[in-house]
Amino acid sequence: MNRKISQQIAFTLFRIFGLLVVVILFSILGFIVVNGIQVINWEFLTTAPKDGMTTGGIFPAIVGTFYLIVGSLLIAFPLGVMSAVYTNEYAGRGWIVKIIRMMTNNLAGIPSIVFGLFGMALFVNKLGFGDSILAGSLTLSVLVLPLIIRTTEEALKAVPDSFRTGSLALGATKLQTIRKVVLPTALPNIITGLILSVGRISGETAPILFTVAAYFLPHLPTSLYDQVMALPYHLYALATSGTDIEASRPMAYGTALVLIGIVLIMNLIASFIRRRLERKWKRN
């Protein structure tokens, strides 16, 4: 009897904490949606900010964030996947792999503001890219690289060894085996990693602070060396350093809503692709 009661108490506690997470998530989302939805309209999404950012829209920031996502993924994705393929498929179990893995883990633990500082020192100043999409994308890609490597490695580990031996036993080379069997099989899980990176890239403020983000730039970038506005930084600016903080408050909520919306849409697209790939090869 006693055991039964203590078990019930434990389960109830677990259930409460489990639900708590949902409650917190929905409060945040609800808060943002309720406050932000009133400013969302066509003009808000398609025009530049006006009147000291108290009216107008956030179009340049949306475009900027989009460029940064695409730019940093273009750099980090191939790099991360190749690195994971090397450590998981080629390198065996030697000390090199151990070091690479340790470094990757350490990289993942560094605070994002440090990446910003590093990006400014290397890409902006040393390499002379200036505050630019290029420098910002590079900085963000360094930031998400460990994430992509880790998730890709997990995805590769989930590919059964029997696929590899089966392919090698047919006279395929190791490279062919990786290209034609291992990577396609791991793809759905690699895409999961990609989804996580998109969320990370679009939400980070600190790394872009010193490397790309413009406080106010009403026109769109024309080259890789241009500065852009970005949603998280724009949100930060609206909330802390606008000309009239009270007047631009609704704009800030609107921006937050758009930011969440973009991440959500990206996630949906990616998980749609993932699910289709998975269904295609579902094991019975």
Q: Residue 247's CB: how many other CB atoms inside 10 A?
A: 14
* 165, 243, 264, 268: residue in contact with other proteins (rule CB under 8 A): 165
Strand, helix or coil at 19?
A: helix
Member of 79, 108, 172, 224 binding other proteins (CB under 8 A): 172
Distance CA 147, CA 166 (A): 30
What does the alpha-carbon distance between residue 219 and residue 48 come to, in Å, rounded to a whole number? 7
Asked if 4 interacts with other proteins (CB under 8 A), we say: no
What is the nearest approach in angstroms of other proteins to the Cβ of residue 282?
7
Name which position in 10, 16, 127, 170 contacts other proteins (CB under 8 A): 170
Site membership for other proteins, residue 275 (CB under 8 A) = no
User: Do the beta carbons of residue 83 and residue 100 sit within 8 Å?
Assistant: yes
30 is an interface residue for other proteins by CB under 8 A? no
Comparing CB distances to other proteins, the nearer of 100 and 168 is 168
| Residue whose CB is less far from other proteins, 4 or 283 | 283
95 binds other proteins (CB under 8 A): no
Burial category of 220 from C-beta neighbours within 10 Å (exposed 0-12, middle 13-18, buried 19 and up): middle
Would you say 99 and 87 are in contact if contact means Cβ atoms under 8 Å apart?
no
Helix (H, G, I), strand (E, B) or coil at 241: coil
The CB-of-175 to other proteins minimum distance in angstroms stands at 10
Instruction: Give the C-alpha separation, 264 to 252, whole Å.
Output: 18
**Can you tell me the distance from the alpha carbon of 155 to that of 37, in angstroms, rounded to the nearest whole number?**
38
| Dist CA 85 CA 77 (whole Å) | 12
For position 157 contacting other proteins by CB under 8 A, the verdict is no
Instruction: Choose which of 184, 249, 271, 273 interacts with other proteins (CB under 8 A).
Output: 184
Q: Which residue, 162 or 223, is less far from other proteins as judged by CB?
A: 162
Residues that bind other proteins (CB under 8 A): 92-93, 160, 162-163, 165-173, 176, 180-181, 184-185, 280-284
